[in-house]
Structure 1
Amino acid sequence: MAVEELQSIIKRCQILEEHDFKEEDFGLFQLAGQRCIEEGHTDQLIAIIQNEKNKVIIKTMGWNLVGPVVRCLLWNDKDDKRKDYFLMLDLLVKLCNPKELLLGLLELIEEPSGKQISQIILLLLQPLQTVIQKLRNNKAYSVGLAWSTLWSQLSLLPVPYSKEQIQTDDYGLCQCCKALIEFTKPFVEEVMNDKENKENEKLKDELLKFCFKSLKCPLLTAQFLEQSEEAGSDPFRCFASEIIGFLSAIGHPFPKIIFNHGRKKRTWDYLEVEEEEDKQLADSMASLAYLVFVQGISIDQLPMVLSPSYLLQFNMGHIEVFLQRTEESVFSKGLELLENGLLRIEDNSILYQYLEIKSFLTVPQGLVKVMTLCPIETLRKKSLAMLQLYINKLDSQGKYTLFRCLLNTSNHSGVEAFIIQNIKNQIDLSFKKTKNKWFTGPQLISLLDLVLFLPEGAETDLLQNSDRIMASLNLLRYLVIKDNENNSQVSELFEKERMY
């Protein structure tokens, strides 16, 4: 019955011009075609689609059948007619109006949730690529619309964290990343092969935005397999390598991008990118820095003349971005990036002037937040180790400045005790080696004013502040016993009462 009904509609439309088709005709065609699919009349429907006499009808109305065909492919994975469904999908992609088909495919991609998101994306990426390639006008806009739709759905998928989760890939995100690279390659090649085409400038713009979005999602939160022998099978590492390769291919190699980020005039001229929220772009740039400096992806493209202190200064802003996030998988990357930069630098070599740069103070404050608020012990310990390493790299005035800052801002007894212990260590070094003006005399007295006092005076909770109080008393005891020559001038803080 459904086949006869569809043939009746087609017979009536065959005598009409395309512009004479009515809205009613579209609706009847869709309903009859859908019934044919549901009732299993795939052979007859394929014959109707392939009939040359129906070419105009299929071109104009056929896109309405894509949805029912795709749903059958998704829901009936064991259906013996799957070959017919795939053939119908291929025929419709080949014969239908590409503009209408593009919108129809994107609507289908937006429909599902959960694990079906990856299933429909993997099913429709190749047809979507074919449809876009058939468009003669506004290809850049269509590509951008497709990427935007794809990422809006992919961003809903959980990013696998452990090695086991990456390998099982329950939600299909890793597979989608691989497929998305294949979807994108023809458009990259198009830009590379015809650089003089003005339309390709717009396509390059969309590619650049696609790369930035990819750096943020999923690469900002993605974890990478540690074993070097598994690097080639790590889906996120492969995806990151391809994205960085795309940047170079379209004329934006990552050294050019990352070393110009933050300047008033960036190296790209695309208004849309300039107007992106700073936070979004900052996340992408931080992700790129991590991929290059920690994971070593394409690091050989960097100039060899860059000093360790310059690279640390460059990366501190990105480390700050990582530490501002609350996701373990993100701020842990900030710890790795900081460690990577600090290990290249000799102790006591970071000049105090660097602390005039905002990130050189906000990063240690971010470490304190991780130390005190993170529920994961390994990350708390890692943050503590990074703060100590950071202190070790500062020169004397830098250490002095940082100690004052953290004593004023940490509001945590344990952290304050840690800082006071570091102050004691610096005083001890000053006594044993060359006298250091920052940890003896008037400068030390000023610092001790912050150390040797109760935060709330007589009402201070001694139990809650016990770590700080014990560290302060320990420091005072050390000074009284060791500083026989009064190099610290600590005696000026107190009136001594001698009892004979």
Structure 2
Amino acid sequence: MCKPEKKTETQKHCRLTRRCEHVQEENFSPDDFDLFRTAGMSCIQQGHSAHVLSVVIDERNKSIVHCMGWNLLGPLVKVLLKKEEKNFHHCHAIFCHLLEVCSPKELLVGLLEQVEEADPDAVAETITLLLTPLQTVLLRLGKRKSSTLGMALSTVLNQVSKLPVPQSREQEEDDVFGLCRCCTALSHFIRPFVEEIKENIQERRFSRDDELRVEIMKFCMRSLSEPLLDVQLKDPDTLETSPLRDFATDILVTLCSIGESLLDLLSHNLMRKRDIPGFLEEEVRYPKESLASLAHLLFVHHIAMDMFPSVLSPVFVLQCNMDYVDLLLSRTEESRLQKGLELYEKTLVRVEDCSLPCDLLDLKAFLNVPQNMVKVMTLCPVQSVRTKGLSVFQLSIDKFNTEAKYKFFRCMLKTSEHAGVEGFIIKNIKNQIDLALKPGHENDWFLGKHLLPLLRQVLSLPQGAETDLLHNLDRIMESLNLLRYLLIRDKERHNETGIWSELCTVEENFLKPLRTGLNMSRAHYEAELKSTKEKKRKNSAAESKVPTCTVTVGNDTLPNMTPEMQLQVLQSALYMFDLMESVLARIEEIAEAKGET
């Protein structure tokens, strides 16, 4: 069996040799291409790469190798990826020789095919193997390389985007997914093309629409979005050597090297006029997600900050960044939300407290961001992100001046539609009133005639006596605490806040319906409590554990629960009603005493 196999292999070698020898390029036929490809691939696949090497380096075969050699890339790449000692040396030599003698256009197509068809488990290995050969081939194209460079970068980035992003320091150190190697290889890959652009700039052969520059620009923008927007960079104190941090730095340095100003990029959305021609092209060339990533790298990680002007007004920087904060906070992915909060916080801390004017609230982003913050604080499933959101939300409030705070509070009470957020806003209102009542801090917005419309918003029930008191517990309790504070702090003879002039209206629109609602809710829950106790008494101890009871709160039916659980819910509700009633009673007591206590 061995002898026939050996004879067949020899025949293949001879067929390859005969097909290559002394054939002139103009005489190549489709059969020549087919035989060269199949014979050469068979020899490589069966481990006879030494023979293929002897054929392709033979000067007499230069013509056919020039035209057909790129067909051997597929089997060669497979061997090089496997790194088998037996064939690796010869295959590497063949590969390098083909890069020198084959048509660069056909080589480029062949190499990009190998990148596109990479095994899902070998994407990183394929990219790191082929980027240097791709660079060699592109440089051989000379002035014709620009459009093909763009195609190559797009193909490679499509594959890089499939690689998982490291989530921990250990994953980045070990490069378990290969993303770090790919990013490092990409930085080296674009270097000669960036150098060429820099030389053109120095020699004043520079145009912003130069095709090579545009392709590198598109690569940088794409990289900022994928993978860098998904990467949580580690601080140097946490990870001294970080390939991903180095890649981010290279991207920002590259942008500056090709004539882009980081300031112009950051302020692009703020300064651009929407009616200029080519608006769609601008959107494509400067994707907002990429610019958001740029802002995060600059202000959170301080990457390339030495290339960014340090004399800019903090308010101007905030205006630039608000669109990016808005974009990031409008997403649902934890990484985007985290980056949005970080960017907003780092931008806000540069702004002086109580300095932002109310004019900013007329800008779309300054209205959108608080609404997105509400969603983060109330809907995000990650506790740490919700907590961070609340902290940054308070920080944003602290930066507005008095008039802006007033208008912001009115807007949030009208639009938040969440009792917890409304309660938080009411607590802030109480703090501003307290400050205004202190000597030297008086203002027109949290005292007197301007305050009353805000108090009317606060001291009201959304649905009157029918309001679900438990669902609105946070808002109602903060409203009661504010009213109690006003009646104690602002005596009737002073009436600086105007609350005593408004007391009859408050009684009619807030206190009376609240008292009615409390009585109705208490009666309902006491009846439910009595019924549940009766059921529990009648049932045996074993049966009482079967989850067959239901509780209806407002219009919502709670999940099935045991009688013990039902009793806890009902008793907890009654406790909350007691709490409301005690504060309500105290308010009525103060009001009757005319604020003299």
TM-score by length of 1: 0.92
Amino acid at match of 1:116: A
**Post-superposition, which runs of at least 4 consecutive aligned residues in structure 1 deviate over 6 A?**
197-200, 268-272, 496-500
Q: Hey, what does 1:203 align to over in structure 2? A: 212
Q: Does 1:423 align with 2:432?
A: no
Q: Hey, what does 1:442 align to over in structure 2? A: 449
Deviations 1:450-491 (A, max 9, x none): 222222333322211111111111111112222212222223
Selected match of 1:45 from 42, 46, 52: 52
Q: Does 1:488 align with 2:497?
A: yes
Amino acid at match of 2:354: N
Amino acid at match of 1:479: L
Is the 8 Å Cα contact of residues 3 and 36 (structure 1) preserved in structure 2?
Answer: no
Selected match of 2:260 from 239, 252, 257: 252
Distance 1:269 1:115, change over 3 A: farther
Distance 1:328 1:229, change over 3 A: closer
Selected match of 1:161 from 146, 153, 167: 167
Distance 1:102 1:491, change over 3 A: same
Cα distance in 1 for residues equivalent to 2:13 and 2:39: 5
Selected match of 2:284 from 244, 255, 276: 276
Deviations 1:143-164 (A, max 9, x none): 0000010111111111112212
Deviations 1:295-326 (A, max 9, x none): 11221223332122222222222222221222
Q: Hey, what does 2:485 align to over in structure 1? A: 478
Is the 8 Å Cα contact of residues 165 and 179 (structure 2) preserved in structure 1?
Answer: yes
Give how far 1:264 is off: 3.3
Considering only aligned residues, what root-mean-square deviation do their CA atoms show, in Å? 2.5
Identity %: 44
Selected match of 1:175 from 181, 197, 210: 181
Selected match of 1:135 from 122, 134, 141: 141
Q: Does 1:100 align with 2:106?
A: yes
Give how far 1:198 is off: 7.7
Distance 1:262 1:7, change over 3 A: farther
Give how far 1:137 is off: 5.2
Distance 1:24 1:490, change over 3 A: farther
Distance 1:6 1:62, change over 3 A: farther
Selected match of 1:213 from 202, 222, 227: 222
Give how far 1:177 is off: 0.4
Selected match of 1:55 from 49, 54, 62: 62
Give how far 1:194 is off: 3.3
Give how far 1:80 is off: 2.7
Of the structure 1 ranges 465-474 and 319-328, higher mean CA displacement relative to structure 2 is found in 319-328
Amino acid at match of 2:497: S
Selected match of 1:359 from 356, 365, 374: 365
Q: Does 1:144 align with 2:150?
A: yes
Cα distance in 1 for residues equivalent to 2:18 and 2:94: 20
Is the 8 Å Cα contact of residues 16 and 40 (structure 2) preserved in structure 1?
Answer: no
Q: Does 1:405 align with 2:372?
A: no
Larger CA Rg, structure 1 vs 2: 2
Q: Hey, what does 1:373 align to over in structure 2? A: 379
Of the structure 1 ranges 252-261 and 323-332, higher mean CA displacement relative to structure 2 is found in 252-261
Amino acid at match of 2:417: N
Partner SS for 1:411: coil
Is the 8 Å Cα contact of residues 187 and 247 (structure 2) preserved in structure 1?
Answer: yes
TM-score by length of 2: 0.78
Give how far 1:415 is off: 0.9
Partner SS for 1:432: coil
Q: Which gives a bigger RCO, structure 1 or 2 (Cα 8 Å, sep 6+)?
A: 1
- Segments of 5+ residues of structure 1 without an aligned counterpart are none
Q: Does 1:290 align with 2:293?
A: no
Distance 1:79 1:5, change over 3 A: same
Deviations 1:172-223 (A, max 9, x none): 0111000001000011111222342789921011111111111111111211
Q: Hey, what does 2:470 align to over in structure 1? A: 463
Cα distance in 2 for residues equivalent to 1:271 and 1:147: 24
Cα distance in 2 for residues equivalent to 1:357 and 1:332: 23
Distance 1:113 1:66, change over 3 A: closer
Is the 8 Å Cα contact of residues 115 and 170 (structure 1) preserved in structure 2?
Answer: no
Give how far 1:128 is off: 0.7
Cα distance in 2 for residues equivalent to 1:83 and 1:269: 56
Deviations 1:35-70 (A, max 9, x none): 101211111111011111111111111111100111
Distance 1:431 1:254, change over 3 A: same
Cα distance in 2 for residues equivalent to 1:194 and 1:397: 53
Distance 1:302 1:200, change over 3 A: closer
Cα distance in 2 for residues equivalent to 1:121 and 1:472: 62
Distance 1:409 1:113, change over 3 A: farther
Q: Does 1:82 align with 2:88?
A: yes
Of the structure 1 ranges 454-463 and 411-420, higher mean CA displacement relative to structure 2 is found in 454-463
Distance 1:113 1:9, change over 3 A: closer
- Segments of 5+ residues of structure 2 without an aligned counterpart are 1-7, 508-587
Give how far 1:384 is off: 0.6
Partner SS for 1:170: coil
Give how far 1:342 is off: 1.8
Amino acid at match of 1:36: C
Counting matched residue pairs gives 495
Give how far 1:228 is off: 3.5
